[in-house]
Amino acid sequence: MAIEKIFVVGAGLMGSGIAQNAITSGYTVVLNDQRQEALERAKLGIAGRLQHMVDKGTLTEEQKEECLNRLSIDPRIAGAKDADLVVEAIYENLNAKQAVFEELEKYCKPSCIFASNTSSISLTALGAVTKRPERVVGMHFFSPVPVMRLLEVVYGLRTAQNVLEDIQEVGKKMGKTMILAKDKPGFIVNRALIPMLNEAVEILDEGIGTVEDVDTAMRLGCNHPMGPLALADMIGLDILFQIMQVFYEDLGDTKYRPAHLLRKMVTARYYGRKTGAGFYLYENGKAIGVNPVLTRDHALA
């Protein structure tokens, strides 16, 4: 099936990145959000980033105008009626995503594919609330979408093979390298990454190494671009905790139990970079040192 028109639901970090990547790849895109201000901000952000590409010489002024002409914003789900593909990128919440899929079902043509950018929610569970479970699929992009090369394609229990082939075409046109993953918590990337970050917190909690040494270990010993505790702060300790909780409940193995210190950090509202404190303290988004609660001397005076 030839896919030409894409409807993106959710104009946040991921939705606006997906829309940008799609228009620069030749697709016509309608970007939707329930908040008009999110739509205005996303449109401005995309125009600004395309202008930056013009300034750098990677896009001509004419190409920029063509791309922007292929982008429109619409706060109504009914705007999806002509779409060949919907990519949903709203909050990571099963009920909210299912409600969007039920709503889309009222307006979309029967051939339209429903994709979700979910990081952890079951595609089988999203497909189950539609009349087209075989046309529901995961398109897990990474942030920032126009820069990150990977697209994790996830198939639910009822996803049809020809739908995977259509998504493969879209991914190729958007310049992505694709991997195929079965519908199980975390898929491939987060199933490998998130428990590793949790284990780094465990290592810190057991006093095997300091915050800096745990991060230096993985940067210099494994060539990771960023230490696991710094990365955990960037993702958000609350998000990391929620994902581990899903793994623990869904996969039922104690090896996925959230680290005790991770739970404590979240209880204390140390969520990482976004709250200015996690394993590190932050000023204007930059780490200025280790959070002193993790280094204090326990001896009484």
Ligand X SMILES: NC(=O)c1ccc[n+]([C@@H]2O[C@H](COP(=O)([O-])OP(=O)(O)OC[C@H]3O[C@@H](n4cnc5c(N)ncnc54)[C@H](O)[C@@H]3O)[C@@H](O)[C@H]2O)c1
The closest alpha carbon to 174, from 256, 115, 129, belongs to: 115
Determine, following the binding rule CB under 6 A, whether residue 91 of this chain makes contact with ligand X: yes
Q: Which residues of 212-231 are buried (b: 16+ CB within 10 A; e: fewer)?
A: bebbebbeeeeeeeebbbbb
Stretch 136-175: interaction string toward ligand X, x if CB under 6 A: ----x-xx--------------------------------
Q: Quick one: which of 21, 24, 119, 122 contacts ligand X (CB under 6 A)? A: 119
Determine, following the binding rule CB under 6 A, whether residue 231 of this chain makes contact with ligand X: no
Determine, following the binding rule CB under 6 A, whether residue 246 of this chain makes contact with ligand X: no
Strand 280-283 relative to strand 286-290: parallel, antiparallel, unpaired? Answer: antiparallel
User: 141 with 8: CB under 8 angstroms?
Assistant: no
User: 124 with 44: CB under 8 angstroms?
Assistant: no
Q: How far is the CB of 34 from ligand X (least distance, A)?
A: 4
Determine, following the binding rule CB under 6 A, whether residue 117 of this chain makes contact with ligand X: yes
Whether residue 111 lies in the annotated active site: no
Determine, following the binding rule CB under 6 A, whether residue 33 of this chain makes contact with ligand X: yes
Q: How far is the CB of 144 from ligand X (least distance, A)?
A: 9
Q: How far is the CB of 272 from ligand X (least distance, A)?
A: 13
Determine, following the binding rule CB under 6 A, whether residue 34 of this chain makes contact with ligand X: yes
User: First and final CA of the chain: distance in angstroms?
Assistant: 74
Determine, following the binding rule CB under 6 A, whether residue 96 of this chain makes contact with ligand X: yes
Strand 5-9 relative to strand 85-88: parallel, antiparallel, unpaired? Answer: parallel
For the chain, what percentages of helix, strand and coil (3-state, to nearest 5) are there?
50, 15, 35
Q: Which residues contact 213 (CB under 8 A, 6 or more apart)?
A: none
Name 73's bridge partners.
31
Determine, following the binding rule CB under 6 A, whether residue 122 of this chain makes contact with ligand X: no
Q: Quick one: which of 3, 6, 8, 11 contacts ligand X (CB under 6 A)? A: 11
Name 290's bridge partners.
280
Q: Which amino acid is at 189?
A: V
DSSP string across 14-70: HHHHHHHHHHTTT-EEEEE-S-HHHHHHHHHHHHHHHHHHHHHTSS-HHHHHHHHHT
Q: How far is the CB of 44 from ligand X (least distance, A)?
A: 14
Point out the residue whose Cβ comes nearest to ligand X.
Answer: 12
Binding residues among 36-75 for ligand X as defined by CB under 6 A: 38
Whether residue 190 lies in the annotated active site: yes
Whether residue 152 lies in the annotated active site: yes
Determine, following the binding rule CB under 6 A, whether residue 100 of this chain makes contact with ligand X: yes
Which span (6-14, 61-69, 195-203, 293-301) binds ligand X, by CB under 6 A?
Answer: 6-14
Whether residue 140 lies in the annotated active site: yes
| Interface with ligand X (CB under 6 A) | 9-15, 32-35, 38, 89-92, 96, 100, 117-119, 140, 142-143
Catalytic residues: 119, 140, 152, 190
